[in-house]
Amino acid sequence: MQLRLSTISCFLLASSSLMAEDYVSVEYMGYDKESGRTTISTPSIEINKDFGADYTANLSVMHDSVSGATPIYHDSSSGASAKIPEGTIYKNDIEYSDVDYEDERTAVTLSLTKRFESRDELTIGGNYSKEHDYESKEMSVEYLHYLDSSKNQSISIGTSYQKNDVSVYCSLNTDECDSSSGASEKVKTLDVFSAEIGFTQVIDKTSQLKSSLFYINEDGYLSNPYMRVVRDYNRNPKLTQEEKPDSRKAYGALVQYSKALSDRLTTVSSYRFYSDDWEINSHTLNGELYYEFNDKLTTGVGLRYYTQSEAKFYNASADYFTDQTYASSDRRMSSFDSLNYKLSGDYKISSDISINASLNYYDQPDYFSAFYYNLGVKYKF
Amino acid sequence: MRTLYLSLVITLFGGCSIKDVKPWEKGTLAKETMREGGGDVLFKKFANHIYFSKEGSKGGGGVAGGGCGCN
């Protein structure tokens, strides 16, 4: 009898911990570029609410305020601006240095999960984000199916469609439109289709493996209206807007392994491979280690390594591009490595309230480094 | 598909054996520390946003994510 009661109470405890929970999470996140002027501040809120055992709704709202500078080619004689000057440009006036910018972005994400009698899950989500020159709308659908009665194996299939509107301001004097056109902006579109299939396998009571294959198809305006390249540097130098292809097909795979090494020590590690038809291949390795000092305090450390090859149309030099169709000096299209270091802590003030904080250091050697961090409160109700 | 997946698991974790774990034995697996980012959904989104705006690749974290003008 004692054994039966113990088994039942263990089952109830485990079941309650596996269920989604009702909570409100409020966080302030910040980003500061080292030896630079870029700062981002992002207050955000997330609400998760169960409606009975079969429905869960999740809402999150984030607001980014960005103030800073990004390096691009520009004509120094007309000031540090992304605007392409009219008339002749002289070699000595072409500079690659910081140009100021400011932006604000609000993003709202809503999802609703329905659990069926088999406990399979259907999640429908929507995302909307708005910046002064960019608007994005997204719908997603994901279905999770358990392959066995103990729910130790599951397969998930998801897809999303994203429609983006990019406003290219004519005052920038790009090929899309210039200040003499009489228009203030030209709106370009970008459609993104994503699909992902995932598998989860519980290996034993303390470890599980997740894996997924993903495919992303982008079709439309993929150039950045603020990025510049120099063409014909040696004969008749010109500053033009960068030109990226108007489609991009990418695929990749992710494997993640979680293991509780003891009652207090847990590790989560993952590897992601990515490849696209712009000839960018990337590898991402991530490792995290969490230690529970007691029932209240949990700390974590993390290390992420990222490496990528360069896009086929990338070159950083001022004297490389002439009449190539596609041309970009955007550093993100180059070959580079990066490292991210993370420290985190979570402290439970009571059974309902916890506070969390983390500090991250992101480094692309020889280019830039930045700190980013968060401070948050979570209330379970 | 299931056979293919099991083959992958066995290849990657040859030393591990897959056990039939009952629902009441999943307390450890349900811990937030068993998830990447320690279960902090908001900060994971923020970190992914930073990676996406500084790097040339993305994907693998689920189909829902939303777009931004940071490409």
Q: What is the set of domains in chain A, with CATH numbers?
A: 23-380 (2.40.160)
* Residue among B12, B36, B45 minimizing CB distance to A286: B36
Task: Tell me which of B9 and B61 has the higher pLDDT.
Answer: B61
β-pairing verdict for A185-204 and A297-308: unpaired
Retrieve residue A20's tokens.
């989604």
CA A265, CA A101: separation in Å to the nearest integer?
44
In this prediction, residues A155-166 reach a mean pLDDT of 97
Question: Residue A273, SS3?
Answer: strand
Residues of chain B with C-beta less than 8 angstroms from the C-beta of A298: 33, 38
**What separation, in Å, do the N-terminal and C-terminal C-alpha atoms of chain B show?**
35
Q: Which of residues 9-28 of B touch A (CB under 8 A)?
A: 9, 12-13, 16-28
Residue B15 burial class via C-beta count within 10 angstroms: exposed 0-12, middle 13-18, buried 19 and up: exposed
**Confidence check: pLDDT of B70 > 90:** no
What mean pLDDT do residues A121-142 have? 96
Q: How confident is the model at residue A331 (pLDDT cuts 50, 70, 90)?
A: very high
- Please tell me the predicted confidence (pLDDT) of residue A10: 39
- Classify each residue of A9-40 as buried b or exposed e, where b means 16 or more C-beta atoms within 10 Å of its C-beta: eeeeebeeeeeeeebebebebebebeeeebeb
Contact A105, A136 (CB under 8 A): no
The pLDDT, as a whole number, for residue B2 is 55
The predicted structure's pLDDT at residue A262 = 96
A237-260 pLDDT, tens digit each: 989 999 999 999 999 999 999 999
Chain B residue numbers with beta carbons less than 8 Å from the beta carbon of A130 are none
Q: Please judge whether B30 and A212 are an interchain contact, meaning their C-beta atoms are less than 8 angstroms apart.
A: no
Contacts of B49 in chain A (CB under 8 A): 64
The tally of CA atoms less than 13 A away on the side-chain side of residue A265 is: 2
Interface test with B, best of A106, A268, A299 (most B CBs within 10 A): A268
- Asked if B64 contacts A138 with a C-beta cutoff of 8 angstroms, the reply is yes
Q: What percent of chain A has pLDDT over 90?
A: 74
Interface mutation target, options A19, A122, A165, A199, chain B, most CBs of B under 10 Å: A199
Question: Count of CB atoms within 10 A of residue A45's CB?
Answer: 15
Q: Please check whether residue A333 is in contact with residue B56, taking contact to mean a CB–CB distance below 8 angstroms.
A: yes
Which residues of chain A are within 8 Å of residue B36 when distances are taken between CB atoms? 256, 268, 270, 286, 288
Interface contact flag, A344 B63, Cβ < 8 Å: no
Q: Which of A82-86, A124-128, A218-222, A293-297 has the lowest mean pLDDT?
A: A82-86
Across the interface, whether the CB atoms of A254 and B60 are under 8 A apart is answered yes
The answer to whether residue B3 scores a pLDDT higher than 70 is: no
How far is CA A231 from each of CA A77, A97, A179, A361, rounded to the nearest angstrom? 18, 17, 21, 36
What pLDDT was estimated at residue B71?
66
ipTM score: 0.89
DSSP string, A84-131: PPSS---GGGEEEEEEEEEEEEEEEEEEEEEE-TT--EEEEEEEEEEE
